[in-house]
Amino acid sequence: MPKRRSRAGTHQTDRDGALHLLAGTWRTEGQLVGVKPGPKTTLVAVDRYEWLPGLKLLAHHVAGHLGRTSVASFEIWTYDRGRRKHASTSFDQDGVTATFEGRLRGREWIIRGKTQRFRGNFSADGLTLSGTWDQRAARSWKPWLTITLRKVG
């Protein structure tokens, strides 16, 4: 597939551009929405995205804390050619699974799942991703967590 220049300044293919932007290690900071900011409502984590050898799969490891609570997850991202979307399966620290679809539009990265969704933007240099996670509440969505990821190394 021909390569194209992304708006985020990195070389990528049309089908896996978002995954190439994500590859690497990120320092993640966040804040729960609608509650008084402070140590109990702050997220600090490391997100690591790495290509699995010989496969077109991107592994995503998360380790950190939301307040005093440890958070951890493992996720696999790929590109679903038939649906022309990125797809993932995520496993949290308790083994609970969730599936998501992602789309990259310019610098905007959108993720949708049954009970959670994310909308954020990569910086022009591709080294920062900022946005908001929402959670489903009955029949509507409510902002849950604002986050900023900064690429390290």
Contact 66, 72 (CB under 8 A): no
Tell me the residue length of the chain.
Answer: 153
Q: How many domains does the chain have?
A: 1
Domain that holds residue 23: 16-152
Please tell me the distance from the alpha carbon of residue 10 to that of residue 125, in angstroms, as a whole number: 8
Reduced to 3 DSSP states, what percent helix, strand and coil does the chain have, rounded to the nearest 5?
Answer: 5, 65, 30
Q: Answer yes or no: is 101 within a domain.
A: yes
Q: Answer yes or no: is 88 within a domain.
A: yes
Please tell me the distance from the alpha carbon of residue 153 to that of residue 149, in angstroms, as a whole number: 13
**Tell me, what's the pLDDT at 81?**
85
CATH of the domain at 104: 2.40.128.20
Which one, of 64, 39, 41, 61, lies nearest residue 49 by Cα?
61
Round the average pLDDT of the chain to a whole number and report it.
89
Tens of pLDDT, residues 74-118: 999 999 888 889 999 999 999 999 999 999 999 999 999 999 999
Which residues, given as ranges, of the chain have pLDDT below 50? 1-14
